[in-house]
Amino acid sequence: MTGPLAGVRVVMMGGLGPAPFCGMLLGDLGADVVRVDRVGEVDGARPVDALLRRSQRSVALDLKQPAGRDVVHALVERADAFVEVFRPGVAERMGIGPDDLLVRNPRLVYARMTGWGQDGAYAAMAGHDINYLALSGALGAIGTAEAPVPPLNLVGDYGGGGMLLALGLLSGVLEARQSGAGQVIDVAMYDAAATLMTVFYGLLADGRWEDRRQANVVDGAAHYYRTYETADGRHVAVGALEPQFYAELCTRLGVTVPQDETPEAWARHGETMAARFRERTRAEWEAELVTPQSCATPVLTLAEAPHHLHAESRGTFTEVDGVRQPAPAPRFSRTVPPAPSSPALPGDHTLAVLTEIGIDGPALCEAGAAGQSSRGRV
């Protein structure tokens, strides 16, 4: 393997959301990520998050059988980190809790990825991204004046939870390589969503943020920081915060609208600009407004984004198995990561991984403690 994380080994329990996203991030950068999926998933329906399973390997195990648990124990002996994705207490009952695995590898970084965390009033509760955002204050700040609008599941699952998991895991690995001792990391999507809101809690404390939606500069209230519909029913995004950028925008729009700083002025000036944007199509406005300092861009769909000039010139998207998808990020000048590999579906690499650690894979599969997919990847 190549890439900045070459030599880092991670064992990760299969699941949805932040854990597979973290696995993709680490695997894209060269880490050896082995995901433990369930035997019952082998050769089943394609996972909804299949693209997040690229740059990894999958071994399918039945952890209800001692032989399946023994494989996890053997895997972590060679690993830098282990990620579990269950509610508090479940991993312990399965025999793969921190006490079970740190005995096998005292240098192991044991990361626990949950929604609410390992403790607290809601620790045992089920939840999803929208719930974590709701209690963190993030969801209450996003949307229209009338109602909150979920920002996909980007804030808790991916931008929050998955990124925080990757940061915590790598921080633990760096520390363990210095101290020789592992530790347990408690990662919660709820905490992650709250962390992403830090700047807004600061603005609120300073009296510079209204604690309601569409009443602030960057939440869609200001006429110079919002989206506008065009003549063809599409949209242009405007982010002309600085006076010089706003002046450029107005000149190219052909409007004379001051950059006043009151909600009443924002609403009034927004109507003027909205009327102007409706006079031309999105493509026409893109040709007119996209300059080095107008801070205006077309709002693209998922189908359009990979084919935009900037995306193609920068190589922001790549193709794996005929599917256009975001390329690995960030970029490294010297330790360039390898191209992403095909998504690892449950059990694709079971026999290969078991052979690496000296376990009789065919016998384990015959006993039902492990499963190899029909694809049989190496």
Active site residues: 128, 157
CA angle 123/126/127 to nearest 5° reads 105
Could you give the strand order of the β-sheet that contains 32-38, starting from the edge strand earlier in sequence? 183-188, 109-114, 81-84, 9-13, 32-38, 57-61, 370-371
Q: Which two tokens stand for residue 273?
A: 């600009």
Residue with tokens 């975001």: 326
Q: Residue 143 has what DSSP assignment?
A: B
For the range 181-185, what are the long-range contacts, defined as Cβ-Cβ under 8 Å and sequence gap of 24 or more?
Answer: 181/106, 181/107, 182/102, 182/105, 182/106, 182/107, 182/108, 182/109, 182/110, 183/109, 183/110, 184/98, 184/110, 184/111, 184/112, 185/109, 185/110, 185/111, 185/112
CA angle 274/275/278 to nearest 5° reads 85
Q: Residue 339 has what DSSP assignment?
A: P
22-41: b (≥16 Cβ within 10 Å) or e: bbbbbbbbbbbbbbbbbbeb
Number of other residues whose CB lies within 10 A of the CB of residue 55: 28
Residue 244's H or E segment, with its range, is helix 243-253
Q: Report the DSSP beta bridge partners of residue 226.
A: 238
Residue with tokens 């007119």: 288
Residue 216: how many CA atoms within 13 Å on its side-chain side?
15
